[in-house]
Structure 1
Amino acid sequence: MTAVLRWRYGTVTGVRRQWRGACEVDVLVEARRADDPATVRALAYVAVVGTPAIGDRVLLNGNALARGLGTGGYAFVVAIPDHLPDDVDDPGHIVKARYTPQQAMFSAVDEPGSAHRRAVTQADDIAAMPVVTADLHSALAPVVAGIRRDAPTARVAYIMTDGGALPAWFSHTLDGLSGLLAGTVTTGQSFGGDLEATNIHTGLLAARHVLEADIAVVTQGPGGLGTSTTWGFSGTACGDAVNAIAVLGGRAVGALRISGADTRRRHRGVSHHSLTAYGRVALATADLPVPDDLEPELSERVAAQLEPLAARHRLVTVKTEGLPEAVAALPVDVSTMGRGLAEDPAYFMACAVAGRHAASLLSDGPGASNLLP
């Protein structure tokens, strides 16, 4: 059978950045092939492998680095053989990254023995909580900016699905936004949040009834998967989330992936990801906010693309006044596909108006929206 992992040994020569749950290191590689790099940048999840130190010999997985993947362009520390971490003592029995060599054990909010089981299992709805769904992890920060611009005291929870990175610890954005969030719930095979949940449904219940969120945001982790085909992308989960939100009595707000700068035709105007997820996967109704100040040509394109979705969803126009400043003032740098706010304002404003509209559902505040004609 063909091997599927690129294993390498190496020695830690330097410790770089550290953030919640993660440690970035430089590693001198013990080459096995002529094209192996002499040194690599590697990432260790400290709860999984421990904290590497200079001089430690480490076992690496070099797949993502060798393939030149942007988001995942690290070698990953699989183990520090001579300095193993302590054994797991968590009483939970929920396994994530199941049946892989690095499957990890967690306590989920909905399992027997959890301190939160009663709160989650006694609830059967999320009490009309607005929930913003988005295709890409890069949407999280501008959505939060839009919410907090108009509802600065609202409790905002992040629900991370498993379409991209599985460990929440990989996200610099999430680490930087921690002071603006009531907490993070990692669902499905994703892990590393403040709370763990079995699926999107119990994740929503945990956000509402354990974190006591007023608004939740649902996106995958960094590094979504796409194949340039109608159905082959991880963002279809947006439509699944809309359905789950409806089942649990929430109010779904779909952040549209809009771009005037993406060079790929399938992502110009409204991305085909949004059109498929909300137009074909979502069977329940969502509010789909659109910025009021798109460039005229882009605005016409977006309106035409969204017209077929109007039969099922509520299309709303939302003012962007004050939102560019709110996004710029975030404690994290925003970027999508290598583009920032100045290079692709339509993308970030589409996310921010989704947050603003969600905030407006809490009251008739300045973010109140109008139905598109």
Structure 2
Amino acid sequence: MIRWRYGTVRAVRGSWSGCTELEVDVEAREGEDAFSCKGLAYDALVGVPEPGERVLLNCNAIAKGLGTGGYALVIAVPDRLPADVDEPGHIVKARYTPMQAMRLAVDEDDSPHRAAVETCESLEGMPVVVADLHSALAPILAGIHATWPEAKVAYVMTDGGSLPAWFSRQMDQLSDRLCCTVTAGQCFGGDLEATNIHNALIAAKVVGGADIAIVAQGPGNLGTGTVWGFSGTAAGEAVNAAAVLGGRPVASLRISEGDVRERHRGISHHSMTAYGKVALAGADIPVPDELPADLEDKIKSQLAELPDRHRLIAVDSAGLIAAMEELPVRLSTMGRGLDRDRVYFVAEAVAGRHAAILLAESPQT
């Protein structure tokens, strides 16, 4: 379950919005040596630990050698508890865990936005770009702004990965390019909170003023290698939510030329399952106009297997590499950058470009 350990903060390594990264010395337990590792504290939950302070840690990620979440997570600074914060809101997220957090959701009684959310009957054709991985956020955003620089874009974070939005450095670095972030379901820490993806999309439009929404889970995709056993099935449910609310679903493809796992080469089985089986509503599926020569036949064969309810749309990718290279974030998916998995990032960027084209063609624009 939880590997409880005590440690001492050796140094503060750095910080970003909502997070403090630490170097911690973890105390030995019977049969185990002491060791040092990176630690992470969520400021709003436990305060900001200082060098020399003793901390209570969850060391599961260290023991299992996790990549994205490979930190000893600070559960508490036992000798210096943070002050109570009395704020409005009674929606509980990370429910019934020791770290459950009380948040003010846009759709609860105390929210100043409740009326606007409750009376919204339609997204009125707002493009909603759906992605499997959190790493898609940056390239999709680049594709949007390379095509329509003035577009106001919201990020709706679903709860398949990290629950605290603060964990994402990418979100912090892209914050000035987003009109708002909305944390849906059990995740929390966005500019706005919502109880589910439906009201998160509505809030993005009527509260955040978004022209386009990007929906993706937070960092830390979960996958077991089985047909249905991955957190990205939520991408198919996001297509359904966007459609039922009167939005325009745009399903970005997870394509890879650099992944050594056959199930992810070409179009990932995650996309094939989420859009081919979970998404019951039709979506626009943008496809880069240029595909890797050694995978082109495979990708076209996979596209032919997708249901007829979806609309396959070839999208010009000219200029998108340059747009992505100008971003203030380091592009990375599963440890691979542009040089090792170019088609992944281009496929996400053309989805953003297509959403911007839809926006430009909208009679309301």
Aligned to 1:201: 198
Alignment match of 2:360 (pick from 357, 360, 363): 363
Question: Does residue 79 in structure 1 map to residue 76 in structure 2?
Answer: yes
Deviations 1:210-229 (A, max 9, x none): 00000000000001100000
Unmatched runs of 5 consecutive residues or more in structure 2: none
Q: Please give the alpha-carbon distance, in whole angstroms, between the structure 1 residues aligned to 2:109 and 2:28.
A: 47
Shift of 1:100: 0.6
Shift of 1:40: 1.6
Alignment match of 1:187 (pick from 167, 171, 184): 184
Q: Percent identity?
A: 63
Aligned to 1:143: 140
Q: RMSD between aligned alpha carbons? A: 1.1
Aligned to 2:275: 278
SS of the equivalent of 1:114 reads coil
SS of the equivalent of 2:359 reads coil
Aligned to 2:227: 230
Question: Does residue 127 in structure 1 map to residue 116 in structure 2?
Answer: no
Q: Please give the alpha-carbon distance, in whole angstroms, between the structure 2 residues aligned to 1:210 and 1:114.
A: 11
Aligned to 1:371: none
Q: Please give the alpha-carbon distance, in whole angstroms, between the structure 2 residues aligned to 1:218 and 1:98.
A: 22
- Indicate conservation of the 8 Å contact 2:130/2:249, yes or no: yes
Deviations 1:246-305 (A, max 9, x none): 110000001100011111010010000000000000000100001011123312111100
Alignment match of 2:165 (pick from 160, 163, 168): 168
Alignment match of 2:312 (pick from 315, 318, 340): 315
SS of the equivalent of 2:295 reads helix
Q: Please give the alpha-carbon distance, in whole angstroms, between the structure 1 residues aligned to 2:258 and 2:26.
A: 39
Alignment match of 1:213 (pick from 201, 204, 210): 210
SS of the equivalent of 1:311 reads coil
Alignment match of 1:40 (pick from 37, 40, 55): 37
SS of the equivalent of 1:358 reads helix
Q: Please give the alpha-carbon distance, in whole angstroms, between the structure 2 residues aligned to 1:41 and 1:265.
A: 33
Aligned to 2:86: 89
Aligned to 2:346: 349
For 2:223, the aligned partner's letter is G
Q: Please give the alpha-carbon distance, in whole angstroms, between the structure 2 residues aligned to 1:334 and 1:33.
A: 42
Deviations 1:189-213 (A, max 9, x none): 0000000000000000000000000
For 1:121, the aligned partner's letter is E
Deviations 1:305-340 (A, max 9, x none): 011215110001001100000111100001001100
Unmatched runs of 5 consecutive residues or more in structure 1: 366-373
1:9-48 equivalent positions in 2, closer than 5 A: 9-48=6-45
Q: Please give the alpha-carbon distance, in whole angstroms, between the structure 1 residues aligned to 2:319 and 2:291.
A: 15
State TM-score, norm by structure 1.
Answer: 0.96
- Structure 1 runs, 4 residues or longer, greater than 4 Å off: none
Question: Does residue 265 in structure 1 map to residue 230 in structure 2?
Answer: no
Say if 1:26 and 1:301 are closer, same or farther in 2 by CA, change over 3 A: same
Alignment match of 1:256 (pick from 253, 257, 267): 253
- Indicate conservation of the 8 Å contact 2:106/2:192, yes or no: yes
For 1:32, the aligned partner's letter is R
Aligned to 2:156: 159
For 1:354, the aligned partner's letter is A
Q: Please give the alpha-carbon distance, in whole angstroms, between the structure 2 residues aligned to 1:166 and 1:312.
A: 33
Shift of 1:33: 3.9
Shift of 1:88: 2.7
More deviation, 333-342/33-42:
33-42
Q: Please give the alpha-carbon distance, in whole angstroms, between the structure 2 residues aligned to 1:86 and 1:333.
A: 36
State TM-score, norm by structure 2.
Answer: 0.98
Aligned to 1:103: 100
Aligned to 2:295: 298
For 1:22, the aligned partner's letter is C
SS of the equivalent of 2:74 reads strand
